[in-house]
């Protein structure tokens, strides 16, 4: 069942992703196609704001992915209410509810890719005070 997602500005965080309806634990929130950024373009992309909105497609090779849809707009939380799964074969990023999410609650992921990882370095490297 497709959910209606929307962006909302959050004081101190910028924009975040929200949903108009309740989402059950384990339910797919969104399936996003990804655009692959080849390794030879890593340095050029790293010098732009787009780096903050990309994910590693193959970290060991410095290949990045820019996620379409709302995929690059989910905010970080150490203990998030959603998780993401990168499907390299299909070139998609899936966002799945890690817990029941009430309508009009912000949907967050952990930028480290694993539930509970403290990912303050991502923020401090960018001069951002982690919330």
- CATH (domain of 10): 2.170.270.10
CA torsion 87→109→51→5, rounded to 10°? 80
Q: Point out the least confidently predicted range of 37-51, 72-86, 116-130.
A: 116-130
Q: Is 129 inside a domain boundary?
A: no
Number of domains present in the structure of the chain: 1
Q: Give the separation between CA 82 and CA 26, rounded to whole angstroms.
A: 9
Q: Which residue has the higher pLDDT, 113 or 65?
A: 65
pLDDT of residue 89: 95
Q: Give the separation between CA 131 and CA 58, rounded to whole angstroms.
A: 28
Q: Is 15 inside a domain boundary?
A: yes
Q: Is 131 inside a domain boundary?
A: no
User: Range of 37's domain?
Assistant: 5-124
Q: Is 130 inside a domain boundary?
A: no
Q: Is 36 inside a domain boundary?
A: yes
> In what order do the strands lie in the sheet containing 106-109?
5-10, 14-19, 106-109, 75-76
Q: Is 97 inside a domain boundary?
A: yes
Q: Give the separation between CA 77 and CA 95, rounded to whole angstroms.
A: 14
Is-contact 49 106, C-beta < 8 A? no
Q: Rounded mean pLDDT of the chain?
A: 86
């Amino acid at each position: 069942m497709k959910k209606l997602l929307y962006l909302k500005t959050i004081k101190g965080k910028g924009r975040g992703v929200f949903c108009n309806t309740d989402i059950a634990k384990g339910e797919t929130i969104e399936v996003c196609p990804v655009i692959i950024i080849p390794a030879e373009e890593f340095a050029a992309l790293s010098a732009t704001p787009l780096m903050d909105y990309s994910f590693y497609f193959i970290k060991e090779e410095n290949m990045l992915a820019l996620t379409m849809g709302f995929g690059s707009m989910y905010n970080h939380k150490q203990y998030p209410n959603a998780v993401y799964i990168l499907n390299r074969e299909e070139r998609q990023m899936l966002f799945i509810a890690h817990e029941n999410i009430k309508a009009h609650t912000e949907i967050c992921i952990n930028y480290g890719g694993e539930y509970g990882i403290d990912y303050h370095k991502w923020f401090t490297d960018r001069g951002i005070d982690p919330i």
